[in-house]
A and B are shown apart, each in its own frame.
Chain A
């Protein structure tokens, strides 16, 4: 089975722009979560989607949004980019019917640099 695929791998944007990141989960996985990783704040939960519905949301401003499609692929969008949004954005999927007593499968992330 192919793993979690995130595109693009690297991205450079300018302050004020907006960006869309994409994540394809492992085939059959319907839960997709997004995390932001920075040297200062570490790994922080952004949101989780299941069957096209946002099921959980972290403490991020409204500039951060996401969605999930019927094929379970997910996108996250950041509008009006700030320098502090520079981070590694990680997507993870989880097998169906397992709840939180199962591991997450992570992609290799998208490295976003805001200049």
Chain B
């Protein structure tokens, strides 16, 4: 399978804490994207980082990319209960096809 791996599989934190999720992929990429999925719903795009970028910020989100290690991380700062969801990384190596990671289930408790 070409599917990427995400770590941890599940993460439980208190509101206000930071959450870090890691993603590894297998092939060379054009870009790497992060998506959020609330239970049983569709995916919502969070952030995209191109292969020639090393770090990107969007609001409370910070994404890093290390192409030499074929890995990326997503940091959510000052987490809120509304951040509770599954988070997926997805890579594109051309052809408009996304290869998704296995996902991290994040639970933010009050």
Contacts and interface: CB of A to CB of B under 8 A. Distances in A.
Contacts of A104: 43, 45, 98
Contact of B41 (A33, A48, A56, A108): A108
A106 B97 contact: no
B42 A4 contact: yes
A4 B45 CA distance: 13
The SS class assigned to the B binding surface is strand
Interface residues of A, number: 28
B100 A42 contact: yes
Interface of A: 4, 31, 33, 35, 42-45, 48, 55-56, 58, 88, 90, 92, 94, 99-109, 111
Chain B's interface size range is 20 to 34
Contacts of B44: 106
Interface string B25-67: 0000011010100001111110010100000000000000000
